[in-house]
Amino acid sequence: MGFRIPDTPEELFKQGGRHMDALNRWLPSIIIVVLIGFFSLTSFYSIDQGEVGVIRRFGKYDKTTQPGLHWKLPFSIDKLDKVKIERVFKEEFGFRTIGSDGNTKYSPKSYDEEALMLTGDLNVLDVSWIVHFKIKDPVELLFNVRNPRETVRDISEAAMRQVIGDYSVNEAITMRKNEINQAVKIMLQKVLDNYQSGIQIDKIELQEVLPPSVVKASFNEVNEAEQEREKVINQSWEAYNKVIPQARGQAEKTIREAEGYALARVAKAQGDAAKFLDTWNAYKDAKEVTKRRLYLETLEEIVPKAGKIYIVEPEANNILPLLNLNQGGEAQ
């Protein structure tokens, strides 16, 4: 039977009364179903892996729930905040990554207001870095920090400026990046802990430490000059290390030869002195014998050095060779 438009007002009122009676009969059931649905939607919740749920009852901390299905009081009596405790967040300074489709894309916008810093020797550097952090205490994070990302950014920038101010421009650019990373991390974590922020700094990464673009060309020239100076110094030290040890070795050799010669001369002089004393003592005891022995020993030393030896007789008419020492020393 289809719907029919009433012909008279009396019939219209009668039909409306029947619908109201039906509605009154079903209204309690409808209200109960709606309440049950609303209760279910506002009471049951699930927590994913890698996060926890923080329940606040009338704004006060009540409990922390782990991954899984849970129940809380409905009608906003209990309020739920889901916090990702295993995710590593990052904040970029001096640049922004805007996407990646195989090649990382960066924003062309300038971020000099956060990147330009003054070094300890009053030079200006363009510094870019990344802060990686995690949530270690969700309750502290929710109740003590209004805007965690802005808090991390503000403290990170202040810490980096303070640390960069402790180094010279050359140290910051070429030598001390690991030191700077560690110093900023320690300082940043200390401040966050004092704030009871519930944030744990994972690591600090210096990306680029460069002179500002307006002075980059001049700075590169200075840097090249410094490198050339270092090159010349290294070459000089290399030559020094070659020549000086050689000269020291030669000097040491000369000293040792002189010492050896001196010892030999002293020993010879001492031997000659001892020999003279022995000869003198023997001469005192037997003068003639000693004189003859010295005479014969002298001849033994001189004769082998002579050429041909001749003995001349006063009455002889010719000179006859007696010995030819240059021919083996045989008598003739």
Contact status, residue 79 vs residue 53, Cβ threshold 8 Å: no
Angle, vertex CA 192, rays to CA 190 and CA 196, nearest 5: 115
- What is the spatial distance between Cα 53 and Cα 139, in angstroms, rounded to a whole number? 10
Q: Return the pLDDT at 33.
A: 64
Distance in angstroms between the alpha carbons of the first and the last residue of the chain:
176
Give me the pLDDT at residue 18, please.
57
Give me the sheet containing 51-57, strands edge to edge: 60-65, 51-57, 78-84
Which one, of 195, 197, 198, 167, lies nearest residue 182 by Cα? Answer: 167
Query: How many Å apart are CA 32 and CA 20, to the nearest integer?
Result: 19
Fold entry, domain 89-210: Tetrahydropterin Synthase; Chain A (3.30.479)
Q: Cα(95)–Cα(106) distance, rounded to whole angstroms?
A: 7
Q: Could you tell me the two tokens for 46? A: 């699930």
Give the pLDDT means over successive 10-residue stretches in the chain (332 positions): 51 54 65 65 84 92 92 85 93 87 80 90 90 95 92 95 90 82 94 95 91 71 80 89 86 90 89 82 77 78 69 62 52 40
Give the pLDDT of residue 24. 64
**How confident is the model at residue 331, as a pLDDT?**
41
What are the φ/ψ torsions at residue 78 (nearest 5 degrees)?
A: -105, 130
Model pTM score? 0.58
Query: Closest by alpha carbon to 112, among 12, 214, 263, 218?
Result: 214
Domain spans in the chain, listed from the N-terminal domain onward: 14-84, 89-210, 214-275, 286-331
**pLDDT (0 to 100) of residue 274:** 85
